Structure formats: structure tokens, C-alpha cells
A = this chain, B = another copy of it.
Amino acid sequence: MSVHRLTLGDVLAEHRRSRPQGTAVVDGDVRLTYPELDERVNRLAAALAADGVGPGDRVLWLGQNSFRVLELLLAAGRLGAICCPANWRQTADELAHILDDLTPKIVVWEESEAVEKARGQVSPDARWVGSGDEYEAYLAAGTGEPPVEVPDDAPVLALYTAAFDGRPNAALLSHAALIAHNMSLLHMRQMEDGFAFLACGPMFHVGTMMFTLATFQIGGKVVVTPAYEPAEVCRLIEAERCTQAFLFGPMIDGLVEANRDRAHDLSSLRFVSHSPEWDEMITVDDSPWCRSGMGGYGQTEVAGMLTFLGLGMGGAGHAGRPSPLVHVRILDADGAEVPAGEVGEICARGHSLFSGYWNRPELNEAKTRGGWHHTGDLGRREPDGTITFIGPRLRMIKSANENIYPAEVERALKSHPAVADAAVIGVPDDRFGQSPKAIVVLQDGRDATAEEIIEHVRGEIASYKKPRGVAFVDQIPKRGYTPDYDALDAAHGGGAYPGM
């Protein structure tokens, strides 16, 4: 085995020696030191191996957040196998698709009606293990050291993402890619010895997983809670002296509200400035990651972040610059690089890139044509070299031969003082092929006409990009943190996209 190899299992084996008293995970009543975690991971790997799990095999986690997700990932890694933590709050059909697609050898599952129904729809090849006591008994039965000669370019984590054809695909991330991404986060977030991360976002999502794994890489403490619950999050931050948590805007507001009486000391948290009340409760952090408001561009296929605003603060592009372990090209449809200032597809190479999607040979070939990973997102290199993320390539609107990117129009819409939220779709247009249409949520107690809003946009960006119509709604449907454009198209007559 090469002297250069470094797998997640190697990292764990080092932590066992380097941090014999260090707490690795906390989850409810469970507290494990690194030696204890290593011990349990070896047992679990031995149990999996006894069930025939070997290189390239998949194990599936269907349940809430748990320290066992990390254990299952590390145990799979010790065997060269792949662990997939999936969103268990999907419909039975969606879960059945995953089971069919991934064909896991082992499914660790938490009881739920949908999961049970999905289980009935698929062939019974997998062994199903309950995520509680049954898991503990399964692990306890494992004996013998598992083989550890795993190459570090072997995929170890699968995360479902990116529904190109309406069905999600599992992005495969290798030991090497995850470790590379960990390094970029350690650097940008200035994660030091003693870091403690509260995983209060879903662990099947790269946003939570990337900080879970970077914390593991530096030998820190991962505190797991089943889901975001403001009062419990406040309690855990105080009790475990958490340095960071998975938090975004509305989640932060929830904590401020829950801790209005200052019952909990949140000062251990070193986080992004948000509001005067929040900033007083926590320690505002000075790392490039926090200083830049956690800005950048990323996707599951690059293990999290591809670019960091922290590497280009004050620059023209709000996505900043690439992490030191990747490089980026903005390419046209023929694979040629476009000049700075022009829009093209964001393409990338480097250490933290994924190893393709599970079971999608044709898609994988298309996505890596010319030796570059094609993100499917449009971006622009600004004259100062920083990068602007425009929006998904497939959502480009073509109007009278001009390209219009919804994200740009949305930003202009949101700068109107009466607009609380906005999304832009393309609707078929006899004369122009397509024209942009705005879907707008007004601020409480504020008013504005369609004409006023269109006029405002015309003052912000090129006239041909202004919406030809505005639909006012109470709420914009979301998929994660972005508008659900499919739902908006269906509800507001969208269609005729050139890229689709």
C-alpha cells in the first residue's frame, strides 16, 4: 500500500492515538471518545463484512440524524464500501426508487410508514437492520479486525442530489475527495484543535455532512441532534460548548427568539454576524468563511464548496475564488473557454471532485466531457478574476436570441423595497420565443403594482431582461433553499426553455 494513502479509516486510526481522551461524538446520552469510536467502527465493519459487504457495495441509512450515520460511513470506508445517508422523509415511491437504484446490501432504518411501504415494493435482497437496539446488537456481534487496505480514491459516501431527469442521482465521493474538501473548510473556517460542530441540519445533505467530516478530520467533537429544534439547539450549544452549528438565516432568527430570555450562554458559538441580538449572544467569528457570510458556490458533486467568497472579498464576483485544491474554467457549449465577463458553464477539476453518479455511465460521460466536470450551472469570470454564479444552465430563458438568467432578474426584483421574495420563470412567447415572468411575494403591509415593479427592474438591469408580467403570490414554493421552478412553471405557465 502506498505510503501516500490516506483514508477516513486512517484518519480515525490516527485520532485514536493522537486524541485518546478526545470526545469524537455526542448524541443524546451517547458520548464516544476517539478510541471508543474506532473500536465500534471496527466491530461494525466486521459485522458488515460477515454479511458480505465488500469493495463497492452500498449500505443505506434511512432515518433521522444520528452518530450512527458517521459510524456507518467509517465502517463502510474500512471495507471499501459506500455509505448512503438518504432523506427518509420522502414518499414511498421516492424511497423505492433509491432502493431500486442503489441496491444496497444493508439498510439501517428507522421505523416509518413510507419506508415500510417502499420496502414492500422492492426485491428483498437487502438485509434490513433497525436503527436502534437492533443496530447495537448487530454491531456488538462483529468480531475480528476488518481488512484496511482500501485505496483512497475508492468512493465512500453517496448523496442523492440533482434531479436532471426528474429522478435524483447519487453523487459518489471518495476518501480523497472528502479529505481534500475537509482541508479547504479547515482553512477557510479556521477550524482548530478543540472544534465542536453541532449537526442540527440533515446529515443526508452536503451542507451538514461537510462540517461533520471537517470536524472529524481535525479530531474535533461532532454533536448530533435529530433535527433543528431551537430550544434544544440552544441547550446543546451551551452544554457542549459548540463552536459552530449548521444554521442559516431563519434558523438563526429561531434561536434568537428561543433564547430571548438569555437562559442559555451561546458565547462558545463562533459564527456569522446576523442581527444585533444574535451578535450579542454569540462570538462573531473573524475567519474568512464567517467574515464573508459563508459565501461561495458549491454543489454535492464537489463535496460541498467549489469557490469561497472568503478568497475574494471585495471582488466583483459574489462567489469569490476557487478553493486552493480545485481549478475552474468557464466553458461554452463546445468546451472552449469564454473570455472574462462572459457567461458560460462553470466547469472544474481538482481534488475534491466526486467520482461520478452511481449507476449513470452515460450521464457521467456527459458531465466529464473534455476532462472537466460540468456543474450544470452558469457563471462568469469577472475582470478581477472572481466568479459570479448566475443560475442553473437548464433554467436559462431565451428571449429574442438574448440569454436571460433568472437569478440576475430575481436579484433586481428583490432590491425593490416592497418585494419580500421573488422568482423568475420563462413563459412561451409568440414573438420572442420566451419572455421572463416574475412571481412576487410582497412585504407585509407594503404594496406595489406590476408596472412599478417592472419599471424598477428596468432601472437595475438591461431592459430586455425585465419581466413582461408579474404574478403576486403569498409564498414561493421551495426545494431546499431555491425556488421550486418546476412547480412555478406548472402553476404560472412556464415552458419553452432552450436548454431543456
Contact = CB atoms under 8 A, between A and B. Distances in A.
Interface of A: 1-6, 10-11, 13-14, 17-22, 153, 176-177, 179, 182-184, 186-187, 190, 192-193, 217-219, 288, 310-313, 321-322, 324-329, 340, 348-351, 353, 368, 371-373, 381, 383-386
Top 5 A-B pairs, shortest CB-CB distance:
A14-B327, A18-B385, A183-B183, A187-B187, A18-B321
Given A14-B322, A193-B311, A349 B19 contact: no
Contacts of A5: 349-350
Contact of A3 (B21, B187, B349): B349
Contacts of A217: 324
A18 B219 contact: no
Given A18-B312, A20-B385, 15 more contacts: A3-B349, A3-B373, A4-B350, A5-B350, A6-B350, A6-B351, A10-B327, A10-B350, A14-B322, A17-B385, A20-B384, A179-B324, A186-B187, A186-B324, A218-B324
A1 B475 CA distance: 46
A223 to B, nearest CB: 20
A314 to B, nearest CB: 9
Q: Which of A19, A193, A310 has the most chain B CB within a 10 Å cutoff?
A: A193
A107 B350 CA distance: 33
A4 B384 contact: no
Indicate how many identical chains form the complex: 2
A112 B437 CA distance: 74
B18 A325 contact: no
Contact of A326 (B6, B17, B219, B350): B6
Interface-central residue, A3, A184, A311, A321, by most chain B CB under 10 Å: A3
A295 to B, nearest CB: 13
Nearest to A186: B187
A353 B186 contact: no
A288 B120 CA distance: 54
A155 to B, nearest CB: 12
Nearest to A6: B350
A84 to B, nearest CB: 21
B21 A384 contact: yes
Contact of A182 (B19, B179, B182, B324): B324
Contacts of A182: 324
B6 A349 contact: yes
Contacts of A329: 17
A327 B13 contact: yes
Nearest to A152: B351
A492 B442 CA distance: 88
A60 to B, nearest CB: 26
A1 B371 contact: yes
A3 B324 contact: no
Contacts of A371: 1-3
A120 to B, nearest CB: 40
Contacts of A6: 325-327, 349-351
B193 A190 contact: no
27 contacts: A1-B371, A3-B349, A3-B350, A3-B353, A3-B371, A3-B372, A4-B177, A4-B349, A4-B353, A5-B349, A6-B326, A6-B349, A6-B351, A14-B327, A17-B328, A17-B385, A18-B312, A18-B321, A20-B383, A21-B385, A22-B385, A186-B187, A187-B187, A193-B312, A193-B313, A193-B321, A218-B324
A349 B149 CA distance: 13
A257 to B, nearest CB: 33
Given A312-B193, A321-B219, A325-B179, A351 B4 contact: yes
A340 B217 CA distance: 22
Contacts of A19: 321, 385
Contacts of A311: 192-193, 218-219
Nearest to A153: B4
A351 B152 CA distance: 11
A211 to B, nearest CB: 15
